[in-house]
């Protein structure tokens, strides 16, 4: 099933005018411009689509906004089918006519109220009804300002998603990426649906390899602003940053340990690219981890923090290896094809994403680490920078079509795909942030 949307949105960014951002859970791109146009192509559906009715919340425009955001999130996950709620006027206290909703085809009904509790303060009460078992499945209240209403709606969508599918939702998470337009690079952080972009860094020189800290409060990245690649750690709430790796030669590929204390980085201070470890807060305590006569790069910690996956061409061509953080022998992980790079580990540690070259096309593949079996998730021809959503069910990556760089998404089973074409600027190096509160 293929659906095409043409949308025009005007979005007020922090500083700049035209921005193109991706909605992750399913991939909707909002264009912050009255001129630029967004085109979203969604193909495929989930293995199962749950029919859900999302009624406008009581509370005028705020109530409608809450419902619209929830509907958009659930629709684009590909795992829900919206049931029409026209005519329903529900509030948080309304009794639910289960049988009537069943005849409308809804297995679940979400409803609630938004009430003003003071100067720019709102209370959002939400409930979720299960029409099959005829009972209330979920109910909770949130408080916030009007600027926080969208985030509250995403949190409600996450709760609905988890109650119905059993999997935590990622609608309230964030993504980081590099936006390039003309000669300017911007490191941007946006909500998973593309709203509220924040510009962490703007530069005339390249920015690459952004990496979220596990607590979501910091971004490590590589900036070429001083004339060579240097690794910075940037605290989002204060905009303060520290150059943690500025050694002779190249400094790049930062990756956080799960406890947030250590960064793996790639340095060329001793000749060729090798993997080193440094303290994440100030870059001290430099230790070398790999010693090979070839290229070692793109380190990534396992979720238990005990080992690091990395790219190495010690066998002659780039492949993925695993090495204990405490040091020791590296074990080869990939054997299909002669070019495997960009390892990313799933949150449960069971599968590995790689970018693999097959018949000249760069594609994203998922490898089951216990069986070694491989699934090709994307088609190419030039797919890069894959990252898992924190629930492990979606993959965000950068695709290139017609020479233009854009963001794309695919479900981790490969069934649902989204591609996003944009007119102005390019988006590269996407990376999905963790669960957690916005600092």
Partner 1 sequence: MKLRLVKTLSVLTLGIGLAACSSVSLDDSAAGAGSSGMGGGVSGQGVMDPFNPSSVLSKNRSVYFEFNSYTVSSQYGDLISTHAQYLTKNPNQKIMIEGNTDASGGTEYNLALGNRRAEAVRSNLTLLGAQDVQIETISFGKEKPKALGDTEADFAENRRADIVYLRP
Closest approach of Cβ 117 to partner 1, in Å? 48
- Should residue 95 be labelled a site residue for partner 1 when binding is judged by CB under 8 A? no
**How far apart are the C-alpha atoms of 240 and 233, rounded to whole Å?**
8
Residues 6+ apart with CB under 8 A from 193: 23, 24, 25, 28, 30, 69, 72, 73, 154, 171
Q: Which of the residues 336 through 375 are near partner 1 (CB under 8 A)? A: 339, 341-342, 355, 357, 362
Q: Which stretch binds partner 1 (CB under 8 A): 43-51, 154-162, 292-300, 389-397?
A: 292-300
- Should residue 297 be labelled a site residue for partner 1 when binding is judged by CB under 8 A? yes
- Should residue 301 be labelled a site residue for partner 1 when binding is judged by CB under 8 A? no
Residues 6+ apart with CB under 8 A from 122: 59, 62, 114, 115, 116, 143, 144, 145, 146, 149
Task: Phi first, then psi: give them for residue 271, nearest 5 degrees.
Answer: 125, -100
- Should residue 411 be labelled a site residue for partner 1 when binding is judged by CB under 8 A? no
Closest approach of Cβ 422 to partner 1, in Å? 18
- Should residue 168 be labelled a site residue for partner 1 when binding is judged by CB under 8 A? no
Closest approach of Cβ 429 to partner 1, in Å? 7
Closest approach of Cβ 311 to partner 1, in Å? 6
Token duo for residue 82: 């919206």
- Should residue 384 be labelled a site residue for partner 1 when binding is judged by CB under 8 A? yes
**How far apart are the C-alpha atoms of 293 and 287, rounded to whole Å?**
17
- State which residue, 118 or 293, has the beta carbon closest to partner 1: 293
Q: Which of the residues 206 through 245 are near partner 1 (CB under 8 A)? A: 206, 208-209, 224, 228-229
- Should residue 323 be labelled a site residue for partner 1 when binding is judged by CB under 8 A? no
Among 118, 182, 293, 403, interactor with partner 1 by CB under 8 A = 403
**How far apart are the C-alpha atoms of 193 and 160, rounded to whole Å?**
17
- State which residue, 126 or 232, has the beta carbon closest to partner 1: 232
- Should residue 286 be labelled a site residue for partner 1 when binding is judged by CB under 8 A? no
- Should residue 266 be labelled a site residue for partner 1 when binding is judged by CB under 8 A? yes
- Should residue 181 be labelled a site residue for partner 1 when binding is judged by CB under 8 A? no
**How far apart are the C-alpha atoms of 318 and 327, rounded to whole Å?**
21
- State which residue, 135 or 288, has the beta carbon closest to partner 1: 288
Closest approach of Cβ 67 to partner 1, in Å? 40
> Which residues are near partner 1 by CB under 8 A?
206, 208-209, 224, 228-229, 248-250, 252-253, 266, 268, 271-273, 295, 297-298, 311, 318, 339, 341-342, 355, 357, 362, 382, 384-385, 403, 429
């Amino acid at each position: 099933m293929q659906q095409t949307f043409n949308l025009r949105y005007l979005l007020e960014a922090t500083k700049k005018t035209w921005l193109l951002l991706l909605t992750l859970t399913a991939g909707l791109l909002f264009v912050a411009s009255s001129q630029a146009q967004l085109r979203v192509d969604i193909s495929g559906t989930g293995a199962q689509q749950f029919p859900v009715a999302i009624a406008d919340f009581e509370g005028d425009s705020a109530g409608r906004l809450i419902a619209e955001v929830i509907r958009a999130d659930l629709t684009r996950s590909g795992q829900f089918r919206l049931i029409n709620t026209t005519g329903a006027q529900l509030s948080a206290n309304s009794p639910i006519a289960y049988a009537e909703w069943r005849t409308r085809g809804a297995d679940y009904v979400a409803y609630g109220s938004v009430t003003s509790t003071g100067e720019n303060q709102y209370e959002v009460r939400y409930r979720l009804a299960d029409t099959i078992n005829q009972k209330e499945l979920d109910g909770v209240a949130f408080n916030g300002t009007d600027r926080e209403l969208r985030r509250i709606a995403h949190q409600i969508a996450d709760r609905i998603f988890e109650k119905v599918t059993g999997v935590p939702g990622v609608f309230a998470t964030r993504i980081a990426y590099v936006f390039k337009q003309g000669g300017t690079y911007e490191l941007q952080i946006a909500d998973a649906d593309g709203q509220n972009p924040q510009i962490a860094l703007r530069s005339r020189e390249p920015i690459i390899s952004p990496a979220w800290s596990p607590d979501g409060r910091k971004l490590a990245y590589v900036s070429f602003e001083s004339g060579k690649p240097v690794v910075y750690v940037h605290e989002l709430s204060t905009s303060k940053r520290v150059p943690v790796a500025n050694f002779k030669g190249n400094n790049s590929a930062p990756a956080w340990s799960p406890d947030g204390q250590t960064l793996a980085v790639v340095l060329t201070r001793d000749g060729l690219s090798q993997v080193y470890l440094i303290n994440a807060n100030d870059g001290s305590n430099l230790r070398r981890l790999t010693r090979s006569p070839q290229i070692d790069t793109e380190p990534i910690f396992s979720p238990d923090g005990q080992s690091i996956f990395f790219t190495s061409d010690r066998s002659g061509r780039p492949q993925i290896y695993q090495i204990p953080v405490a040091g020791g022998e590296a074990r080869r992980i990939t054997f299909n094809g002669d070019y495997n790079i960009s390892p990313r580990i799933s949150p449960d540690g069971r599968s590995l994403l790689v970018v693999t070259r097959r018949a000249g096309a760069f594609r994203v593949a998922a490898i089951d680490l216990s069986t070694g079996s491989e699934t090709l998730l994307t088609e190419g021809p030039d797919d890069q920078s894959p990252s898992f959503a924190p629930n492990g069910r979606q993959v965000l990556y950068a695709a290139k079509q017609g020479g233009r760089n854009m963001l794309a998404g695919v479900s981790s089973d490969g069934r649902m795909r989204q591609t996003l074409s944009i007119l102005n600027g390019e988006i590269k190096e996407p990376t999905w942030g963790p669960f957690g509160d916005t600092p």
